[in-house]
A = this chain, B = another copy of it.
Amino acid sequence: MAHTASRGPGRPPAAKAAETRERIMRAAREVFSELGYDAATFQAIAIRADLTRPAINHYFASKRLLYQEVMEQTNGMLIESAVQHSQRESALAGRMRAFLRAAVEAQGEDRSVAAFLATSVLESQRHPDLNQEDNESLTFTRGFVTSAIKDAIEGGEIRPDVDVDAAAEMLMAVMWGLGFYAGFVGDQERLITITDQFLQLLNGQMWRAADPA
């Protein structure tokens, strides 16, 4: 969230410029995730931000650059922050819980965060020029789950013959599904409930019949 005023253009006072940039990025995140990259025009973003179209152009030279800045910011707000939270935990389930709770919290502050990141994977398929390398949110998440699984194997927490890459991809697909759910299906309360259900499944608490009929 911390945009240094030095990145804003010269004309408006620095603090005001940073605030306007922030307003544009928030509006752009909403419009990109609601309409998709193609349909998200500067005009639509200007209306959402309650600014003129030239004002958007003043801060962002192209839609592609605006998209990339929103992508970096949103990755920071949700995924990087969630990874940091998870690093305070040691066990795999604890790390996943910390990651998902931080992600749910970021989503509670801005409902377009999950929708934006979830659709960014589609957008990078549909517009290969949007990302120089792989999609960043996939890369970050993959790194997080891979190291969490490796540590869990080293610590004897999970079976040593687990296929690390396959398990990591599976957890990534699950988190992506939760992200889509958060962005396009359920409200925040529902998201908290289903995230808890997944953590129970991960802990093996759900399917054990405590008291079979």
Contact = CB atoms under 8 A, between A and B. Distances in A.
Interface in A15-61: 34-36, 38-39
Contacts of A190: 166, 169
A174 B157 CA distance: 23
Contact of A173 (B155, B170, B194): B194
A190 B195 CA distance: 25
Interface residues of A, number: 59
Copies of this chain assembled into the complex: 2
B154 A213 contact: yes
A167 interface: yes
A157 B209 contact: yes
Contacts of A213: 154-156, 160
Contacts of A167: 197, 206
Contacts of A119: 122
A211 B160 contact: yes
B173 A178 contact: yes
